[in-house]
Amino acid sequence: MVVLEDSRGRIKTALLLAAGTGSRLQPLTNDSPKCLTEVNHTTILERLLHGLHAWKFERLVVVVGHLDDCVRDFLGTSFNGLKIEYVHSGKYRTTNNIYSLWAARHAVQEPFLLLECDLIFDDALLEKMLTPDRIAVSHILPWMNGTTVSLGHSRHVTRFHLRGDLPRNKITHKTVNMYSFSRRSWQRVTRRLEQHISAGRVLGYYETVFAEMIRDGELSFEAVFFDNRRWYEIDTLEDLREAERFFPRTDRPPATASGV
């Protein structure tokens, strides 16, 4: 496999997890996958394509499942020089994102950027995520929930706090569900993922693996702070309405895939 990494270690590959059913966005996701949800008439996936193109990414691997034909038809096999490949997660209805990440273990061998398909953000925020072994975080706002992390003085993650596991009297930061990995870190992660999947733990979250590895000293992330009004995680219809307040309609031309 060709390793898409220049002499400075700049990441040029992205891995997008887009296999889930997006049940909390129903009825919008009954006939269309979550990543094709429109935010002010521009799909989440289209915004991502433009962001990756702006930062000269060369490869996008997409883990698909629910209504995967819609994603394939929309993306094709290339977009403005960005090569697009797919991994199908056949068990997307009975597994969680830990399984989707595990499913991509052979498809990506180079340093890469991991994203989830419900994120919308300004393109400029990608700049500091182009270096391996980083995690995007935000100061916690009332609308945020889910996994948080504690940071040390050097802005490195010292602990993951999984859903419902908020520590008392400690400053924590919300994960944005965007990570970058070096080849060495990814190799370690895939070994730990394999242990979980082999043990039948397919309904969990990949953050569980990251939490274990941070605790065991096998993984290290440096935090990159995202301006909390320049990104949004869209899980529900209410989230979608709020995201449309933050991200007005774009005047960019629509994405056009090729190679279909």
Domain of residue 170, CATH code: 3.90.550.10
Asked, for residue 222, whether it belongs to a domain, the answer is yes
Domain ranges, residue 136: 13-246
Asked, for residue 89, whether it belongs to a domain, the answer is yes
Amino acid at 205: Y
Asked, for residue 69, whether it belongs to a domain, the answer is yes
Asked, for residue 257, whether it belongs to a domain, the answer is no
Q: How confident is the model over 112-134, as pLDDT tens digits?
A: 999 999 999 999 999 999 999 99
**DSSP for the chain, written as a single string:** ----B-TT--B-EEEEEE-S--GGGTTTTSSS-GGG-EETTEEHHHHHHHHHHHTT--EEEEEE-TTHHHHHHHHBTEETTEEEEEEE-TTTTS--HHHHHHHTTTT--S-EEEEETTEEE-GGGGGGGSSSSEEEEEE--TT--S-EEEE-TTSBEEEEE-TT-PPTT---EEEEEEEEE-HHHHHHHHHHHHHHHHTT--SS-HHHHHHHHHHHTS---EEEEPPTTSEEE--SHHHHHHHHHHSPPP-SPPP--B--
Query: Each residue's pLDDT tens digit in the chain (260 positions)?
Result: 333 444 357 999 999 999 998 888 889 889 899 999 999 999 999 999 999 999 999 999 999 999 999 999 999 999 999 999 999 998 988 999 999 999 999 999 999 999 999 999 999 999 999 999 999 999 877 667 678 999 998 899 999 988 656 555 566 888 999 999 999 999 999 999 999 999 999 999 999 999 999 999 999 999 999 976 689 899 899 999 988 988 877 655 455 554 43
Asked, for residue 4, whether it belongs to a domain, the answer is no
Asked, for residue 137, whether it belongs to a domain, the answer is yes
Number of domain units in the chain: 1
